Amino acid sequence: MSDAPSSTSLTASAHERRKKVRIRLAMMIVAMGLGGWLRLADLERAGPILWDDAYMHLEARFFASGARAIAESAARWREERRTGQDLWKLDAEVARVRAATEGEPPFYGRPAHTAATLAAMAAFGDVPFAACVASAVLGWLTIPLAGRLAE
């Protein structure tokens, strides 16, 4: 007699594995839907919930306004090179960039969160709830990570 499993038992075990995967997928979809609704609902009205959301928003504003100011300075420099007019002076440009840069320089060591806040600001504008959106989305994305770790 052979100890090899029959083809019907292999098919049944494969079917059971697929069924378990479908159940896990359905549970993950329900958890993601519920978690998304709970975490993302009504963020526009809430504004910064905790001080770290507000500070992350200020850090992102620092990068966004600084990048805009540097881009404007670079445009003036290119225009000077193109036309030959005296439009760009280093001291004046440094003063303009410093004056135009708003927010707070990075203090907390969370560059991914600041980058996510910058992405939210790019999508929604410089609004008070941008850091809340970043926190909510990053928190929402931990649901599948926790599910994978639980397996």
Q: What is the 3-state secondary structure (H, E, C) of 69-109?
A: HHHHHHHHHHHHHHHCCCCCCHHHHHHHHHHHCCCCCCCCC
- Which comes out higher in pLDDT, residue 65 or 12? 65
Q: Are 121 and 134 in contact (CB under 8 A)?
A: no
Task: Quote the pLDDT of residue 81.
Answer: 93
Q: Both tokens of residue 103?
A: 């927010």
- 23-62 residue pLDDT tens: 888 988 998 888 888 877 887 777 666 778 888 889 999 9
pTM: 0.71
Q: Give 110's contacts (C-beta < 8 A, 6+ positions apart).
A: 56
Q: Please report, in angstroms and rounded to a whole number, the separation of the first and last CA atoms in the chain.
A: 37
Burial degree of 134 (CB within 10 A; 0-12, 13-18, 19+): buried
Q: Which residue has the tokens 């549970």?
A: 27
Task: Quote the pLDDT of residue 115.
Answer: 92
> Cα separation of 135 and 150, whole Å?
23
